[in-house]
Structure 1
């Protein structure tokens, strides 16, 4: 049985309108969000050395590239929409798939949409004019705009997303060039002195702290798998989806490393310690108020494109779950783009927007999404049993799977010590997903 045959064969044909450029833009848009513009300030407070902050970004880059290859291996063998829900429900057990879908609903899409919309509102409003109603109004407007584009016609949402991603990359490239070309060497104020100690963690406790800090930075990389959620609507999905994830992740990795080098070395270290506005602070250190203003515009574009990409990808998971009967059938839109599921996703985001603060869930999100991704990659061990004629893993894919799972395990183990509350919250979220699955099955039987 081919991987694609795991879907029902009586469904009407689905329009294949997503090519490699759009899929790559989706990955880039999904990855470059609130995390990259805030994580280094929190990491600097935990690690107290810019070199160690950069080390965490490099380690997470390797983790994300390995993850994109591992997810690519899944997409080659099962080129269908649904992401972790699809892989775990088809290859392991429906209960695990439902739990992954629940994680996607809560942590994978709803909360990141809220974080991105609130981040865009934060950087678009001057502090002197910021009020609670105006702040929420701007965030809701961004969600409404993205929802309207996706519901009216899927191609419109994809085109707007691609345009914003292009502008975002152009502005970030201009910022990087400005910093490296025009900022004199003696004005990089964050360069550590010899008295600050080595950048390499010199003992086990230091490594645990680095791995714990990776939970923040992992959040910035977790969107590398965005293309798997829309595989049904992708042209030549078994080829283009893996390529889009790998190419998009490499593009974002280069951008992240260059940006964060500037973020931690351009301003004085004390200026960014524990600060969430690290990008704006660094931009002001590089080019004064003018560059800081342009950086704010770039961040607004980055977070707006994240809202667009999340509202494109997320509803496809709920659509697939509805097709399988583990969510209300009304969310199923077989053969069409999931309009009602998109509206439900937007409504959930607007509700959560009024309940949660902007950055309090960053560690929780990084841990939860990393754990869910690791479960999906683990399902590759079952694929030969479920899809007998699926091609065996290549050496590169096998190495990528091992690296991705090993690093994820280290992050989770370290976070049990460094972020105990967030770790418990992650476990509770997984547990609630299983409870909901059992309850749904009982409702169906009655």
Structure 2
């Protein structure tokens, strides 16, 4: 009989770093600042938002490292909450991951991939609307569904290609900034006084670009010496992500007139056009497409491990379990199916607001389980950063989420049905298990 819940050790430190970076450096890094600039009216406030969100994510990565040292299985938020607080809390987190977290983020990246590829290669515009988004989502599912090692190597290759391209773009842009008399562009938009509620809403958006800091925790059960390797992978990956996010966004918002990118999702291509003309625009669009591809493959790799863990616990049908040495194929298929549905039903900005708010609350709940384990089980993390890092992460995340909800209540209202359906699904799951 094939063993369940004991997958082979297949994830190295570099794989984990690539998983974090690939998960984080997706659509948000190239689209958020245009919306943020429209709301905040200042380049400096936009960059500050990226820095603040980066430090909050770093506190989150350190906190997740503490959680993994105590719980070295795969599963992420579902595992932490169900083992520390209550199975219902874990189920809701897993349910959010299933309905919104991973499929929604995949749909978000796939839609952006579709837009950038059509612009970079005009002949692709003859394809039906969203066809490329659907194709790349299916392809990512096939890549990770065949063999675990093949999926890992493919993802590592895409991330290496992306990092190389980003380094070239950063160096080339730096040269342009130092040699051009007209750069950086510093003229500002006319805006009112600083609004903390608007800044909080921007942070919720920006946090979506950093939400991959915890990606390595989803595959902890497939890592040798997970207690040490997984925390290191999350911290290194988050630091690299933070560096890339700040540098790339500084190039974009200081490389072009503010009015040309205000409120636009294609801020990266507008900046490339201003800095290097049409050839630069095409190159940057292809680079962004590769970045989005890494985001899609990272989430296709990580997400199904959550559903497989839920199936191990009986919270989902046994069909979605992961067997030793094999990828969780049924779970991958389920996630791909939901992502395809969202691609056909959603829009880019609506997905970004909903995902940023919903996922930030789940992350805060997971990190708060550190305090629960401390006071409930007497497990105090052996880290110099406890309790500072989790307090910073949970406090800042909840504060900015609340301020954002006050500024735009639609995000909060949109999250309610997901949670309510999750609660109902949990009790249906419990009842079905009792009847067996």
Indicate which of 125, 129, 138 corresponds to 1:144: 138
My pick for the range that moved more, 69-78 or 436-445, is: 436-445
Whether 1:32 aligns to 2:32 is no
Asked whether the equivalents of residues 373 and 380 of structure 2 are also in contact (C-alpha less than 8 Å), the reply is no
CA displacement, residues 23-47 of structure 1 (integer Å, 9 cap, x when unaligned): 1000000000110000000000000
Output the CA distance in 2 between the equivalents of 1:12 and 1:98.
Answer: 18
Instruction: For 2:202 and 2:132, locate their aligned partners in 1 and report how far apart those are by CA, in whole Å.
Output: 31
Partner of 1:3: none
Partner of 2:186: 191
Matches of 1:277 and 1:99, distance apart in 2: 34
Candidates 346, 355, 360, aligned match of 1:356 = 346
The number of residue pairs the alignment matches comes to 430
Aligned counterpart, 1:443? 432
Are the aligned partners of 1:122 and 1:135 in contact in 2 as well (CA < 8 Å)? no
Residues 76 and 218 in structure 2, CA contact (< 8 A), matched pair in contact too = yes
Structure 1 residues 11 and 350: CA distance shift in structure 2, 3 A: closer
Question: Which secondary structure does the structure 2 equivalent of 1:186 belong to?
Answer: coil
Structure 2 partner of 1:369? 359
Determine which of 381, 401, 407 is the counterpart of 1:392. Answer: 381
Corresponding residue of 2:149: 155
Structure 2 unaligned spans of 5+: none
Task: Give the equivalent residue in structure 2 for 1:49.
Answer: 42
**Contact 2:99-2:338 at 8 Å conserved across structures:** no
Structure 2 counterpart of 1:265: 254
In structure 2, distance between residues paired with 1:443 and 1:235? 35
Q: Judging changes above 3 Å, is the alpha-carbon distance between structure 1 residues 129 and 116 closer, same or farther for their aligned structure 2 residues? A: same
C-alpha distance in 2 between matches for 1:132 and 1:115: 22
- The answer to whether the 8 A contact 1:101-1:321 is kept is yes
Structure 1 contact 77–391 (Cα < 8 Å) conserved: no
Per the TM alignment, residue 351 of structure 1 is displaced from its structure 2 partner at its CA by 2.1
Contact 2:82 2:91 in 1 (8 A): yes
List aligned pairs for 1:319-330, cutoff 5 A.
Answer: 319-330=308-319
Unpaired runs of at least 5, structure 1: 1-9
The match for 1:421 is 410
Structure 1 residues 132 and 387 mapped into 2: Cα distance closer, same or farther (>3 Å)? farther
Q: Among 320, 339, 346, which residue is 2:329 paired with?
A: 339
How much has 1:348 moved relative to structure 2? 1.8
- Mapping of residues 82-231 of structure 1, within 5 Å: 82-126=75-119, 129=123, 133-183=127-177, 184-188=179-183, 190-192=185-187, 206-231=195-220
Partner of 1:316: 305
Q: Which residue of the partner structure matches residue 378 of structure 1?
A: 368
C-alpha distance in structure 1 between counterparts of 2:293 and 2:103, whole Å? 14
- Identify if the C-alpha distance between structure 1 residues 12 and 28 changes in structure 2 by more than 3 Å, giving closer, same or farther: closer
Contact 2:92/2:423 (<8 A) preserved: yes
Q: Alignment partner of 1:397: what SS? A: coil
SS across alignment from 1:392: coil
Aligned equivalents of 2:423, 2:126: Cα separation in 1 = 36
> How many Å apart are 1:88 and its aligned residue?
0.3
Q: Report the Cα offset of residue 358 of structure 1.
A: 2.9
CA distance in 2, matches of 1:385, 1:406: 18
Distance 2:60 2:5 in 1: 32
SS across alignment from 2:130: helix
CA distance 1:385–1:52, shift in 2 (3 Å): closer
- Aligned CA distance change for structure 1 residues 130 and 80 (closer, same or farther; 3 Å): same
The SS at the match of 2:272 is helix
Stretch of structure 1 that moved more, 171-180 or 130-139: 130-139
Equivalent pair of 1:49/1:192 in contact (CA under 8 Å): no
- Counterpart mapping for 1:263-302 below 5 A: 263-302=252-291
Q: 2:314·2:433 contact (CA, 8 Å) conserved in 1?
A: no
C-alpha contact 2:7 2:322 (8 A) present in aligned 1: no
TM-superposition CA deviations, 1:109-162 (whole Å, max 9, x none)? 011111111211111113855658534322222122211221111111110111
Residue 334 of structure 1 deviates from its aligned partner by 3.4
The TM-score normalised by the length of structure 1 is 0.92
CA 1:12/1:90 → structure 2, altered by over 3 Å: closer, same or farther?
A: closer
- Per-residue CA deviations over 1:238-277 (Å, capped at 9, x if unaligned) read 1111011100000010111111111111100000000000
